A and B are shown apart, each in its own frame.
Chain A
């Protein structure tokens, strides 16, 4: 980045970030609707049923994370490669096409919702498969747009510098995009359907996305702490080895009960139990670099970005590592599978591993856009990070308590029947957990308000010494 001037690729990144933050708001809103329906089932009944609210909640989540991930790559790509993004015009066109397609899909979810039991519904309304409900036409559109993105990344790196971070990202992004194809076909065999569905869901969040985070986390460390690139890149390769080494076969922890052979019990248990190891590594690495640089008396160049990165490393370890491990052994998963357990883990893991770091990346871009050498936290930054983080943590603990009731009462006592399900749902501790989830969800929404405000104003709220630095640099 030259002074205040941004690369075209970085301007494109800002567009991606903007849509991401808007969709984050939509995600929270529909989560709130779904959470209210657990307590007051008549709320929006027959208008916006739970299924529709939930689809919008989790699809908005996945789509905004992908937007922010693409945005972060467009941000760091010209900076790392040292040249403008190749094909950035095409990239802009792809951005508008993708955004228009997302808008159409959302409108169809909201207003058409469901269709008759025919192939045409799968093509044009919904595929009815959790997280990847988007109809087939949209799948094909997404693949086309992602191909443009991949082309831009590859062409730019080929022409510019090949840093370790970029090399890891190139390999990772192609795997990430390729895996989406595993979710793009129809079969009458529900076991085979779910087998491939997990290739997309698990091999995204527990393999390719984790490696993405390790790479972008390395970049943020270099930017905020001036961390030593050689050490960062060595750690990155170690992380890649550990993440792919455990995560790829860790896929087996989803193949215990869906009509799959028994050998997945052992394979899934062993490899998924190893998955937390790299997450500890990530966390230790950040703390280590932080201590080292602070020890030298160096300032953190962007305190909000660094704070979110710290939340990321700890949240990733806690949400994915600890909460994931708690239900990953088949002996336990037999009773937790299909209860609120995965929801408790899913919230903390998605937030800890992905939401936090991508917010950090957005702060980094805000700093770059304003041309500030250093950017400090404001009061609003503090409220945003505190309310959102503590809110999600309380939400996950509440869901865990509700989940325990389900495993003990619905599964343990009643063998998982229709009646057993509702006996557990009516249990006072279960209901209290749902109440706390709603309450903490509201805290997250308030935190989101602070976040939006902060992202729009933080550059103007910097203390005098920081702003003067910017003037001097310009």
Chain B
């Protein structure tokens, strides 16, 4: 039999394969990215009015009560904005005062979110905390911080949850709960308000059920005690 060189040891064959595989994977990624970007656009006032669920909701959610509840169809928890309907989805009805009012306009809410995000970046929050689970591991995840049970317990003493969080951010060591403290980052009153708005808005992002069981489990053994 003739001893012909096999295609499997041909550089040309592998070079072509590499080019094709890379090309196909890249095209698929670009295609999926277009689709994802469409689904991840921030919601609008019209979406809230028409009760359209957006993965990233409108900043106007700061006017509403927000919850995080198990949805039977999807099999995990989802954000519930303005009350839950019979099928386990958002009703966009129940309002909640945020810094004294529940009628922030779309423009005002957007401005707050903008300043909040800029402050979060300017103070390097993500180099101690995780947001949506990404960042550093020196401090608690902030994805659902707005819904944290500890803030619920502090709310009444400060005249509302948003006031408690804002007060904390303006001077964290004064309200420290643990030996590992959050430093004072020079956050102004205006910036604190904006950051709290961002935390509230972020807690309404649909994260496919992350974190699981947030704040639900009670009665586990606390080894510190």
Contact = CB atoms under 8 A, between A and B. Distances in A.
B156 interface: no
A35 B169 CA distance: 25
B28 interface: yes
A117 B191 contact: yes
Interface string B109-146: 01001111111111111111011111111111100110
A192 B40 contact: yes
A126 B121 contact: yes
Contacts of B136: 50-51, 54, 130
A190 B217 contact: no
A415 B215 contact: yes
B29 A188 contact: no
B183 A45 contact: yes
A188 B40 CA distance: 12
A415 B205 contact: no
Nearest to B217: A415
B205 A233 contact: no
B220 interface: yes
A241 B15 CA distance: 8
Interface string B140-159: 11001100111000000000
A255 B33 CA distance: 11
A51 to B, nearest CB: 4
A422 interface: yes
B: interface residue count bin: 35 or more
A41 B181 contact: yes
B186 A128 contact: no
B18 interface: yes
Contact of B212 (A42, A258, A334): A334
A62 interface: no
B72 interface: no
A261 B41 CA distance: 12
A417 B214 contact: yes
B105 interface: no
B120 A244 contact: no
A426 B128 contact: no
Nearest to B148: A418
A386 interface: no
A426 B132 contact: no
A41 B139 CA distance: 12
Contacts of B29: 248-249, 251
A54 B138 contact: yes
Most chain B beta-carbon neighbours within 10 Å: one of A117, A260, A261? A117
B134 A130 contact: yes
Given A51-B124, A191-B132, A337-B133, A421 B140 contact: yes
A45 B183 CA distance: 7
A223 B148 CA distance: 58
A194 interface: yes
B18 A241 contact: yes
19 contacts: A51-B136, A116-B186, A117-B115, A117-B122, A118-B122, A121-B122, A133-B124, A188-B114, A188-B117, A191-B132, A237-B18, A238-B18, A245-B22, A261-B35, A264-B32, A334-B210, A338-B135, A418-B140, A423-B224
Given A51-B127, A241-B17, A257-B210, 5 more contacts: A118-B122, A119-B118, A121-B122, A237-B17, A261-B55
Interface of A: 34, 37-38, 41-42, 45-46, 49-52, 54-55, 113-119, 121-122, 125-130, 133, 164, 186, 188-192, 194-195, 197, 230, 233-234, 237-238, 240-241, 244-245, 248-249, 251, 254-265, 267, 334-335, 337-340, 343, 411, 413-419, 421-423, 425-428
Interface of B: 9-11, 14-15, 17-18, 21-22, 25-26, 28-29, 32-33, 35-37, 39-42, 55-56, 110, 113-128, 130-141, 144-145, 148-150, 177-181, 183-188, 191, 194-195, 202, 205-217, 220-224
Q: Which 3 A-B pairs have the closest CB atoms?
A: A117-B119, A128-B121, A257-B210
